[in-house]
A and B are shown apart, each in its own frame.
Chain A
Amino acid sequence: GESVGLHLPTLSVQEGDNSIINCAYSNSASDYFIWYKQESGKGPQFIIDIRSNMDKRQGQRVTVLLNKTVKHLSLQIAATQPGDSAVYFCAETLYNFNKFYFGSGTKLNVKP
């Protein structure tokens, strides 16, 4: 499932602050999740992933949190930079299915 809406949520943060982008997924059976970043004029790029047997995974400046109880995924970006301005999508899939379902995305604006 995916979070579908008519409007693209927008998050505005000051450069240097931390950002938290949220995603609700609907299929409790989904067991693998990915966050993608899409810059203007480009295709989505892989940022970080997490399996359902984990609650938290950290990368470079990014952390993904998974709360299976409420079917919620979040992406935390530390010390947000202007280059982080983009649309961020979560994607979910079932094990061995290899077909992902995407959320509608959140636009992150980083103010200098």
Chain B
Amino acid sequence: DVKVTQSSRYLVKRTGEKVFLECVQDMDHENMFWYRQDPGLGLRLIYFSYDVKMKEKGDIPEGYSVSREKKERFSLILESASTNQTSMYLCASSPGLQEDGYTFGSGTRLTVV
């Protein structure tokens, strides 16, 4: 089974901190994605990557950056955490074929205080 692993299930950080959310997939997938999930708003795409060292902005990239130095790892960075970034963050990967959909990680619930 494809596994997408997010390093933390729960995180609590202070306003202004730099926060790293890590995601690793073990099936050699080309594509990786970061979403945030908020009640009533569904999943919103933050950033995605189609290849190593490649990144593209999603729909809500402000306040975030990403890093993909290795194919299996896609990191989401909050440069200076703010309370409005309190959310559930979901990482996903896909092999690049449309009909395979995404495989999601279990999510990281981040609280910024």
Q: Do A and B bind each other?
A: yes
A interface residues, Cβ below 8 angstroms from B: 2-8, 32, 34, 36, 41-46, 49, 51, 89, 91, 93, 95-105
A45 touches B42 (CB 8 A): no
- Give the distance in Å from the alpha carbon of A70 to the alpha carbon of B110 in the complex: 38
Give me 11 other A-B pairs in contact (C-beta within 8 A), A49-B99, A95-B98, A99-B48 excluded.
A4-B41, A4-B42, A43-B4, A43-B105, A43-B106, A44-B43, A51-B99, A93-B98, A98-B31, A104-B42, A105-B42
A-B contacts, 5 listed (Cβ < 8 Å): A41-B106, A42-B106, A43-B107, A45-B104, A105-B42
Q: Are A5 and B40 CB-contacts (below 8 A) given A43-B4, A99-B45, A99-B48?
A: yes
From 46 to 66 in chain B, residues with beta carbon under 8 angstroms from any chain A beta carbon are: 48
Instruction: Determine the distance from Cα of A47 to Cα of B83 in the docked complex, in whole angstroms.
Output: 34
- Which residues of chain B are near A6, meaning CB under 8 Å? 40
With a cutoff of 8 Å between Cβ atoms, the chain B residues found around residue A101 in the complex are 45
Q: For the complex, what is the distance from the CA of A41 to the CA of B108, rounded to whole Å?
A: 9
Contacts of B106 in A (CB 8 A): 41-43
Q: How far is the CA of A36 from the CA of B75 in the complex (A)?
A: 24
| A43 CB to nearest B CB, Å | 3
